[in-house]
């Protein structure tokens, strides 16, 4: 590593870095949704170089890796708009939802995909094979042109002719149909407006007769309407497990012989918020061995749980984030990442405790001299509670800032807002820190990973608590002498974009900001969004239109006269979650005031950017924008 005495002195923000947008994206993919069939393992790769196409990849036991789904097939569902659970692996082949037509396709080993369903009015996700009855059971979403919102239901899809039959439809939302090992029982989750799945869900259980009909339906958890239940799974012995937060924390529970018990009480979260289908935070090795991931203080660990002994042992792997766990009893497969390691598909030999990397998300190798290490920080919120964040100092092996200057700070407000910032390696974060920015990723009140009470800090307080925590994170770092209090910027996407705009509008702490497909008009969001989030704001703000006053009071677009600093906006023009008019109203309001504003629109993008050229343009445009505002010239590299 180059010593401090030989480093070049250059203004913060102007440092030359090997982490360019091109290098960041070259060979970079998104990894997700690992499944296995015996010793064969499959995963999804989201490829920016192929305009974000999601490709199903298969690794055979001999190590051979091949693409399963050929172009132009894109394995992605739009159920709930956010999707997830887009494919199912079986011994005979795969079933998947194709993005362009949202139909289910079947693909036998070595064969081309064949369309199974012919229901252009329907979307499907979260598949399970009902082999005895030769059908798939899935979550369906029916879109009627004359209906106010789509209808969600449990669907049975015939493997013979693709005919779709509704087997359950009373509730607003369905998720996680799971068939018992003997094929005689079905478990699933429901919830209804105005709740979100992290607020209140119900776990159902029913018998299935030979004809495939459900009978003896009963709720086995969530009867009181104040518990969030996720991830039902059947153990090899036929017991039903699930994750619930009746003790404030998402712990693992078992339903057996009519009784529910907490498998291992712990002040930790054993699940993620249910934004997408197909999440798996635990899996069975055998009847009395569960491999599970859980988080405490913002970092995830992997554990081996013995339910009969109430014993949890920690597996010391070099990761701080785990997802999509699956196992054949001998090997655990998962997606893992850590502070110094990019996301990867990992195989763990359970007995030998040896790991093998099957696929990495990025081919980019980062010299440790340019790697900013995340530091957990805590600070007081306006409501007197402790808030949390990950802080990254500016780090570059070749440069240091002037001795009489402090670095600019970029505050990141994560999306959701019911989500969380982790400490896994993010080359996008390192893009900033290696150029001389300090960076803080805020887990404001409402974030997951700190218990139900912490999540509920945001109830009725969106635009208040989250904004205050981001402001206080910046002030805390400035007070500590770590950053320049006159060069504070904030950036966020989607719900994080709203927090960004609210912070810029209602506070005078930040000198610049970047909104990625951010909400500016809460009233428009309440009246023009998709079904999954149609009543989300009831909990975050208040019922609409009864509390229209709150929506108007907290909407940045209504108070653009209070925003006095430069802002850059990024927006996909095909976004159905936060429609472009949200951004365009704010841009016009700022232009009318003469505030420095830039608007970067991407015609083919939706909610979140997937195309390499667009991701590059957004990064470089944001950096150049801050350079103009803070008075530095970004390095040309």
Q: Where are the domains of the chain?
A: 4-10+366-630, 29-169
pLDDT at 199 over 90: yes
**What local confidence, expressed as pLDDT, does residue 585 receive?**
86
For 612-632, how does the pLDDT look when each residue is reduced to its tens digit (9 = 90+)? 889 999 999 999 999 999 999
Average pLDDT of span 563-570: 95
Whether residue 292 contacts residue 306, with contact meaning beta carbons closer than 8 Å, is answered with: no
Q: C-alpha angle with apex 73: 69 to 79, nearest 5 degrees? A: 110
Average pLDDT of span 190-198: 97
**What local confidence, expressed as pLDDT, does residue 366 receive?**
82
3-state secondary structure of 95: strand
**What local confidence, expressed as pLDDT, does residue 299 receive?**
87
The total of other beta-carbon atoms located within 10 Å of residue 377's CB is 17
Q: Which CATH number fits domain 4-10+366-630: 1.10.10.10, 3.40.50.970, 3.30.9.10, 3.40.50.1820?
A: 3.40.50.1820
Whether residue 505 contacts residue 567, with contact meaning beta carbons closer than 8 Å, is answered with: no
Query: Phi first, then psi: what are they for 378, rounded to 5°?
Result: -135, 150
For 500-528, how does the pLDDT look when each residue is reduced to its tens digit (9 = 90+)? 999 999 999 999 999 999 989 999 889 88
Query: Phi first, then psi: what are they for 328, rounded to 5°?
Result: -105, 10
At 608, the pLDDT band (50, 70, 90 cuts) reads confident
- SS in 3 state form for 321-345? EEEEEEECCCEEEEEEEECCEEEEE
**What local confidence, expressed as pLDDT, does residue 26 receive?**
76
**What local confidence, expressed as pLDDT, does residue 77 receive?**
98
- Residue whose C-alpha is closest to residue 409's, from 396, 421, 397, 391: 391
pLDDT at 2 over 70: no
Q: C-alpha angle with apex 425: 419 to 431, nearest 5 degrees? A: 100
Global pTM value: 0.93
Alpha carbon distance 410, 342 (integer Å): 22
**What local confidence, expressed as pLDDT, does residue 146 receive?**
77
At 113, the pLDDT band (50, 70, 90 cuts) reads very high
**What local confidence, expressed as pLDDT, does residue 5 receive?**
57
- Residue whose C-alpha is closest to residue 17's, from 312, 352, 367: 367
At 90, the pLDDT band (50, 70, 90 cuts) reads very high
Average pLDDT of span 348-375: 92
- Residue whose C-alpha is closest to residue 41's, from 361, 363, 359: 359
User: Which helix (DSSP H) or strand (DSSP E) does residue 474 occupy?
Assistant: helix 465-479
Alpha carbon distance 28, 32 (integer Å): 13
Average pLDDT of span 413-427: 94
Q: Which CATH number fits domain 29-169: 2.130.10.10, 2.40.30.10, 3.30.420.40, 3.40.640.10?
A: 2.130.10.10
- Residue whose C-alpha is closest to residue 125's, from 173, 164, 158, 77: 77
pLDDT at 18 over 60: yes
Average pLDDT of span 596-608: 92
Whether residue 243 contacts residue 253, with contact meaning beta carbons closer than 8 Å, is answered with: yes
**What local confidence, expressed as pLDDT, does residue 248 receive?**
94
pLDDT at 63 over 80: yes
At 3, the pLDDT band (50, 70, 90 cuts) reads very low
For 287-301, how does the pLDDT look when each residue is reduced to its tens digit (9 = 90+)? 999 999 999 988 899
**What local confidence, expressed as pLDDT, does residue 631 receive?**
96
pLDDT at 406 over 90: yes
| Residue partners of 127: CB distance under 8 A and separation at least 6 | 85, 87, 88, 95, 104, 136, 137, 138
Mean pLDDT score of the chain, rounded to an integer? 94
**What local confidence, expressed as pLDDT, does residue 52 receive?**
87
Lowest-confidence pick of 20-29, 160-169, 324-333, 482-491: 20-29
Alpha carbon distance 157, 168 (integer Å): 13
For 244-268, how does the pLDDT look when each residue is reduced to its tens digit (9 = 90+)? 999 999 999 999 989 999 999 999 9
């Amino acid at each position: 590593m180059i010593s401090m005495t030989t480093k070049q002195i250059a203004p913060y923000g102007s440092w030359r870095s090997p982490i360019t947008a091109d290098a960041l994206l070259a060979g970079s993919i998104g990894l997700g949704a690992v499944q296995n069939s015996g010793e064969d393992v499959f995963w999804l790769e989201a490829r920016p170089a192929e305009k974000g196409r999601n490709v199903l990849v298969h690794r055979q036991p001999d190590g051979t890796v091949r693409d399963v789904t050929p172009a132009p097939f894109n394995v992605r569902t739009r159920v709930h708009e956010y999707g997830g659970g887009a494919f199912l692996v079986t011994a005979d082949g795969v079933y998947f939802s194709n993005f362009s037509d949202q139909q289910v396709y079947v693909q036998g080993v070595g064969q081309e995909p064949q369309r199974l369903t012919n229901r252009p009015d329907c979307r499907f996700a979260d598949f399970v094979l009902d082999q005895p009855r030769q059908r798939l059971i899935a979550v369906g979403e029916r879109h009627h042109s004359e209906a106010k919102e789509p209808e969600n239901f449990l669907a049975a899809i015939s493997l013979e002719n693709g005919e779709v039959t509704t087997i359950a439809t009373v509730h607003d939302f369905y998720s996680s149909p799971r068939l018992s090992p003997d094929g005689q029982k079905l478990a699933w989750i429901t919830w209804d407006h105005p709740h979100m799945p992290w607020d209140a869900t119900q776990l159902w259980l029913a018998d299935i007769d030979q004809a495939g009909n459900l009978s003896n339906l009963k709720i086995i958890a969530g009867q009181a309407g104040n518990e969030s239940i996720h991830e039902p799974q059947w153990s090899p012995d036929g017991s039903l497990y699930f994750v619930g937060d009746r003790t404030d924390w998402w712990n693992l529970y078992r339903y057996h012989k009519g009784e529910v018990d907490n498998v291992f009480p712990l002040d930790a979260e054993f699940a993620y918020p249910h934004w997408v289908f197909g999440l798996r935070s635990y899996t069975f090795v055998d009847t009395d061995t569960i491999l599970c991931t859980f988080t405490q203080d913002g970092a995830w660990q992997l554990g081996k749980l013995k339910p009969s002994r109430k014993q949890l042992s920690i597996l010391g792997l070099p990761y701080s984030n785990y997802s999509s766990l699956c196992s054949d009893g001998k090997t655990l497969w998962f997606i893992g990442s850590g502070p110094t390691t990019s996301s990867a598909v990992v195989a763990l030999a359970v007995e030998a405790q040896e790991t093998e990397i099957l696929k990495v998300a990025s081919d980019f190798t980062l010299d440790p001299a340019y790697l900013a290490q995340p530091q957990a920080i805590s600070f007081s919120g306006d409501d007197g509670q402790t808030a949390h964040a990950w802080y990254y100092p500016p780090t570059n092996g070749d440069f240091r800032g002037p001795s009489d200057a402090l670095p600019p700070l970029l505050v990141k407000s994560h999306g959701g807002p019911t989500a969380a910032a982790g400490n896994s390696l993010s080359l996008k974060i390192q893009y900033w820190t290696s150029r001389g920015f300090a960076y803080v990723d805020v887990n404001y009140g409402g974030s997951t990973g700190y218990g139900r009470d912490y999540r509920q800090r945001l109830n009725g307080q969106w635009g208040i608590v989250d904004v205050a925590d981001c402001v206080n994170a910046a002030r805390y770092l400035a007070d500590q002498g770590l950053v320049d209090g006159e060069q504070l910027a904030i950036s966020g996407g989607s719900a994080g974009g709203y927090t960004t705009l609210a912070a810029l509008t209602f506070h005078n702490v930040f000198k610049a900001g970047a909104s990625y497909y951010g909400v500016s008009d809460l009233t428009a969001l309440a009246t023009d969004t998709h079904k999954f989030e149609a009543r989300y704001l009831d909990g975050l703000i208040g019922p609409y239109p009864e509390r229209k006053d709150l929506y108007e009071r907290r909407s940045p677009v209504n108070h653009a006269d209070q925003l006095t600093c430069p802002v850059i906006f990024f927006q996909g023009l095909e976004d159905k979650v936060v429609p472009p008019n949200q951004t365009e109203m704010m841009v016009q309001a700022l232009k009318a005031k003469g505030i420095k504003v830039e608007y970067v629109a991407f015609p083919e993008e939706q909610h979140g950017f997937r195309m390499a050229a667009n991701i590059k343009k957004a990064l470089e445009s944001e950096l150049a924008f801050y350079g103009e505002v803070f008075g530095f010239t970004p390095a040309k590299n």
